[in-house]
């Protein structure tokens, strides 16, 4: 099956994951890459994604749980508490008066 970005059909041969795709993924992940990094990661990702294609032949039971053991929600009443003092937390961040500084929205 071709990939949606059209780079490759299966694990055999073919051209490497293209630079445009790597740059696009990096943008979504909030990473800025140099041209050398783009070239290197294109090669590495291509290698790894080809290997992942082995899963295409795996049969499965059609169930996809998110945890390896059953995990159920454990609910309790909301109980307000102050485990860590806000001053201590603010001391670790860039603050102005009692507020945390952040970038422009």
Partner 1 sequence: MSQCRLSPEKLRALNQKYHVFCEIAEDLGALDEYPPHFHFSAKDNLCARGFQARAGSRILEGYRPPFDATAIARMKRFGGVLLGKTTMDEFGFGTFSTNSSHGIPLNPFDQTRACGGSSGGGAAVTCLLEDHVALGVSTGGSISCPASFCGVFGLTPTYGRVSRYGLIDYGNSLDKIGLMARRPEALRTFLPVIAGPDPKDPTSCTQAALDLSPTKVTRVAVPEEAMANLDRGVEAKFTEALDLIGGGIGIEVKRVKMPSLKYALAAYYIIATSEASTNLARYCGMRFGVQNKNVSQHFNDFFSETRSASFGNEAKRRILIGTYTRAIGFRDRYYLKALAVRQSIISEYDRIFQEADLVLTPTMPFVAPSFDQIERMRPLEVYQADFLTVPPNLAGLPHISMPCGYLNSLPAGMQFVAPHWEERRLLVMAENWNKQFQTRFPEGCP
Closest by CA to 38, choosing from 16, 8, 9, 10, is: 16
Q: Is residue 100 close enough to count as binding partner 1 by CB under 8 A?
A: yes
Q: Is residue 98 close enough to count as binding partner 1 by CB under 8 A?
A: no
Other Cβ atoms less than 10 A from the Cβ of 49: the count is 14
How many residues can be counted in the chain?
A: 105
Q: Tell me which residues in 48-77 interact with partner 1 (CB under 8 A).
A: 48-49, 51-52, 54-56, 58-74, 76
Q: Quote the CA–CA distance of 36 and 47 in Å, as a whole number.
A: 17
Which bin fits 95, alpha (ψ -120 to 50), beta or left (φ > 0)? Answer: beta
Pick the binder of partner 1 from 36, 77, 94, 98 (CB under 8 A). Answer: 94
Binding site for partner 1 (CB under 8 A): 1, 3-5, 21-22, 25-26, 28-33, 37, 41, 44-45, 47-49, 51-52, 54-56, 58-74, 76, 83-85, 88-89, 92-94, 100-105
């Amino acid at each position: 099956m071709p990939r949606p970005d059209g780079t490759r059909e299966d694990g055999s041969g073919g051209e490497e994951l293209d630079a445009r795709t790597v740059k696009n993924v990096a943008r979504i992940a909030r990473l800025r890459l140099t041209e050398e990094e783009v070239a290197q990661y294109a090669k590495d990702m291509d290698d790894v994604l080809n290997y992942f294609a082995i899963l295409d032949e795996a049969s499965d039971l059609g169930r996809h749980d998110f945890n390896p053991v059953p995990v159920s929600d454990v609910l309790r009443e909301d109980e307000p508490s102050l485990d860590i003092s806000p001053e201590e937390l603010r001391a670790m961040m860039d603050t102005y008066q009692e507020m945390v500084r952040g970038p422009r929205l």
